[in-house]
Structure 1
Amino acid sequence: MTDTPLDETRRPRRYMSPHRLGVSLLFLMNGFYMGSWAPKIPIFAEKLGLSEGELGLMILVFGVGSILAMPLTGIFNARYGSTKVGKAAALMFLPMLILITLSNTVWLAAIVIFLFGGLMASMDVSMNANTVAVEKVEHRAIMSSCHAFWSLGGLLGAAMGGFLIEMTGPLGHAIAATLVAGLFLAIGFPRLVEDTPSGEERQQKIRLPMTPLPWLIGVVALFSMIPEGAIMDWSALYLRNERGVDIALAGFGFAAFQLSMTTMRFAGDHVRDRLGGVKTMRICAVLSVTGLLLAGLAPTTPLIILGFAIAGLGISNMVPIAFSAAGNLPGMAPGIGLSVTTTLGYSGILVAPSLIGFLAEHTGFSPIFMGLSLLHVIVFLLAPLMRYADRDRVG
């Protein structure tokens, strides 16, 4: 296997097939729910009388639920297929915003938040595994655009959330968001590709992989997502406190990052189909290293914002390529490889930003962003592992 471009004669026509539409709508629904949750957080904290520290613990409960659910979902996917598991997780995930809104005690809210995080993660692992199944059926990359639909859903949910809460109240917003999400599922479910394992595959002993390959790809996902979480959580504070940028402009760094990342994800599948996973990952790593260094070193605000935008272009396709590679590992059920990769990857975006905040108190954010670029140097060196992302679409 090499990182050569795919044969031009084997590339199918570009269109939104039913299978691709089905799994894309799962990503859209999941992102929409996460975006809808964001504007509810202050109301949630106020209703329960949570301090900032207590709210932080509640968000940690969400993260713990997510991390615990991912390997379990990998086992269920290997047994029953990502379609059945993904549908079940999505249906259980659907009432979560209403249940969060109705929770009136701290302990009840903690249980619901734990389930919210776990079901979000379970749906995430399943829909990524289903995306791998669609890539195998259609012999083309779709993972990046699916992640773009997740980002788009998050933007839609966040944009609509504040308006609906003001117009209809927290419960009205939760009901409206649930109806919209239910519509996405109703359209998407019948179009999902079926990937039920064969009898022989179900009889295989399922356990955590003992070979280093899935763990190394998980490290790629982890190192790809840590800078993403850092920019998401700390870029505005960096611009405001260390660079003296006006509060009205401080959010432009993350906005530029998010816009470039979402846009590039819609183009990323075409790039990977032409160049292959290895070369695409190397280009992404070079772009992200350049962007992070520029964000940390640039003397002016426009250049810092440009740095975050360039980093977004690079980071955009790192995780989708790693997930495709993990789902295509030889001799391993897609759900198992993906559960390892998603668990390691999302732990980076859920846990690392708090450690980065602690370090920044002593060093400032400028050296933090420069230091994070070293993680993507390692991603560049591990890029040959991404040849597995193309395994079922070439030769």
Structure 2
Amino acid sequence: MSLAPAPTRVPPDESVVRRARLAVGALFLTNGALLANLLPRYPEVKAELGLANSTYGLALAAFPTGAILAGLLAATLIRRLGSASVAALGTAATAAGLLAAAWAPGAALFALALLVAGAFDALTDVAQNAHGLRVQRHLGRSVINSFHALWPVGAVLGGVMAAAAIALDVPLRIHLLISGLLFTVVALVARRFALPGRDTDDVAHAADGSGATDGEGSSGAADSVSAADGAGGSTAPATSPAPRPGRGRTAAMLGALVLIAIAGTLVEDAGNSWATLYLSRDLGALATVAASGFIALVGAQFVGRMLADGFVDRFGQRAVARSGGALIALGMGVALALPTVPGTIAGFALAGFGSASLVPAAMQQADALPGLRPGTGLTVVSWLMRLGFLASPPLVGVVADAAGLRAGLLLVPLAGLAVVLLAGVLTGRRPTG
């Protein structure tokens, strides 16, 4: 009995891919905006529920806890439902959880609502990255960094919406109902313009050589293994599958990617949690000036993400990440060695610029690791990165209590050095022509 040949998978039209790129950008923006609508109103919730500081802190911890508990489910859901559907439905469920938090009559239900919102936020995060990488593969060039640049734009938009609601005395429940409905509609419309087909179709499409790949395409992880083994240019035909690394090597590469991602989030947390405190308390900056450390880091990171895709296409992920790690180490290292207010602000700016591509690069490379089911590498990196993000503030705090905040912030240049050493697992510049 003869077997019929498998049907050829036809890649989507360029116009479909362009619309899908806009759709993914909309998903990233909504993901940044949803929680940002509630954050400025947390003090209002605390006062209304009469929460003690300790109870309030425990309740807020429910959001990241939910993300950690649910994060590992993302790969399975993406394979069953598709990344676009998981991202859109996750956005709607996150909005519902945040709205439920506004209606909670007590601390327990408030925490439960945040737990649910955090769980769906984590699923949305992985799914929108997975779909963004699908779009990138079809475009044939790097765009994942520009998606990540839209997240803080959404966060600023959400914060402005919250500030306007407070100024206009809009009740919290009405405010979150409006914002939740708005961004749910945006996400559902974005789903309509997402790429057709299943995520697994893209993997098979890339594997048979018939589909476009990005500048660090889906074969990039296998290329990294070959480079790490010291292999030269391949003499095999273009259609020959690249040799897959063993499980131990894949696990080692995944571990290195997790560390790169954690290094990126550690730099972000240094700006979020410690920059203002260090500048004001340790260096004596005025409160208005002290806020510049955080602003410099976030602003430079945004600029870096807008520029990073072009750098990646030209130089490759490996060179961009190594250069970024060097900027982090040099900028913050010099700032901490010669502590001045202007120098420290500049150091935070260099660290933000240097860290811009680290998390997107780690996610992209993990998603392309050979030998893993679709979405697995991306899910693992995202999940462990969240654990690292939770661990970094207390780690800096413990060192700061023992030796001062200046010593605690030495973790930032050390993270930069770690990236320089680990960047070999990322793909280099791919030959053109």
State TM-score, norm by structure 1. 0.88
- Separation in structure 2 between the aligned mates of residue 288 and residue 264 of structure 1, nearest angstrom: 13
Structure 1 range deviating more: 28-37 or 90-99? 90-99
Distance 1:143 1:229 in 2: 21
Summarize the alignment of residues 110-259 of structure 1 with structure 2, pairs less than 5 Å apart.
110-167=111-168, 168-197=170-199, 211-259=251-299
Q: Give the Cα separation in 2 of the matches to 1:391 and 1:299.
A: 37
Q: Determine the C-alpha separation between the residues in 1 that align with 2:400 and 2:288.
A: 23
- 92-101 or 378-387, which moves further after superposition? 92-101
Letter in structure 2 aligned against 1:384 = G
Would you say the 8 A contact 1:292–1:311 is kept in 2?
yes
1:87 Cα shift? 2.3
Show the 5 A alignment for 1:22-33: 22-33=23-34
**1:333 matched to which residue of 2?**
373
Equivalent in the alignment of 2:19: 18
* Structure-1 residue corresponding to 2:386: 346
Residues 260 and 384 of structure 1, relative CA distance in 2, 3 Å threshold: same
Equivalent residue in structure 2 for 1:319, among 348, 353, 359: 359
Q: Distance in 2 between matches of 1:377 and 1:73?
A: 31
- How far off is 1:44 after superposition? 1.9
**2:221: which partner in 1?**
none
Please list every run of 5 or more consecutive structure 1 residues that lacks an aligned counterpart in the other structure.
1-12
- 1:57 is aligned to 58
- Secondary structure at 2:284's aligned position in 1? coil
Structure 2 residue runs of 5 or longer lacking an equivalent are 1-13, 205-246
Q: Which has the higher helix share?
A: 1
The 3-state SS of whatever aligns with 2:251 is coil
Identical-pair percentage: 28
Q: Do residues 378 (structure 1) and 418 (structure 2) align? A: yes
Residue by residue over 1:81-110, the C-alpha shift from the partner in whole angstroms, topping out at 9 and shown as x without a partner, is: 212222221221222332111111111111
Shift in CA distance, 394/195, structure 1 to aligned 2, threshold 3 Å: farther
Partner residue of 1:292 out of 332, 335, 338: 332
Distance 2:360 2:276 in 1: 26
Question: Which residue of structure 2 lines up, in the alignment, with residue 4 of structure 1?
Answer: none
* Per-residue deviation, 1:183: 4.0
User: What CA distance in whole angstroms lies between the structure 2 residues aligned with 1:105 and 1:332?
Assistant: 43
- The answer on whether the counterparts of 1:228 and 1:349 sit within 8 Å (CA) in structure 2 is no
CA deviation vs aligned residue, 1:279-302 (integer Å, no higher than 9, x gap): 111111111112221332333211
Q: Summarize the Cα distance change of 1:393–1:342 in structure 2 as closer, same or farther, 3 Å threshold.
A: farther
Structure 2 equivalent of residue 83 of structure 1: 84
Aligned residues of 1:165 and 1:173 also touching (Cα < 8 A): no
Equivalent position of 2:341 in the other structure: 301
Is the contact between residue 144 and residue 268 of structure 1 (CA under 8 Å) also seen in structure 2? Answer: yes
Matched residue, 1:268: 308
Q: Could you tell me how far 1:361 is from its partner in structure 2?
A: 2.1
How far did 1:269 drift? 0.9
- The amino acid across from 2:259 in the alignment is V
Find the aligned partners of 2:73 and 2:432 in 1 and give their Cα distance: 31
Instruction: Give, in angstroms, the shift of residue 262 of structure 1.
Output: 1.0
| TM-score (normalised: structure 2) | 0.81
Number of corresponding residues: 375
Q: C-alpha displacement at 1:305, in angstroms?
A: 0.7
Higher RCO, 1 or 2 (CA under 8 Å, sep at least 6)?
A: 1
Structure 1 residue 176, shift from structure 2 partner: 2.9
Query: Equivalents in 1 of 2:335, 2:173: separation in Å?
Result: 40
1:220–1:379 CA contact under 8 A, matched in 2: yes
Across the aligned residues of Structure 1 and Structure 2, the Cα RMSD in angstroms comes to 2.6
- State the shift of 1:121 in Å: 0.6
The Cα shift of 1:18 comes to 0.7
How far apart are residue 173 of structure 1 and its match?
A: 2.1
Q: What is aligned with 2:244?
A: none
Please list the CA deviations of residues 153-204 of structure 1 after superposition, one character each: whole Å capped at 9, or x if unmatched.
11111122122123113223212322331342244121212351559x99xx
CA contact (8 A) 2:132 2:144 kept: yes
Change (3 A) 1:289 1:74: same
Shift of 1:229: 1.2
Confirm or deny: 8 A CA contact 1:136 1:393 kept in the other structure: no
8 Å CA contact retained: 2:74, 2:126: yes
Greater mean deviation of Cα atoms: 309-318 or 361-370: 361-370
1:40 aligns with 2:63: no
Moved more, 126-135 or 169-178: 169-178
How far the C-alpha of 1:16 sits from its partner, in A, is 8.8
Larger radius of gyration: 2
One-letter amino acid of the counterpart of residue 117, structure 1 = G
- What residue identity is the alignment partner of 2:276? A
Give 2:192's aligned amino acid. Answer: P
Q: In 1, distance between residues paired with 2:430 and 2:39?
A: 38
Match of 2:11 in 1: none
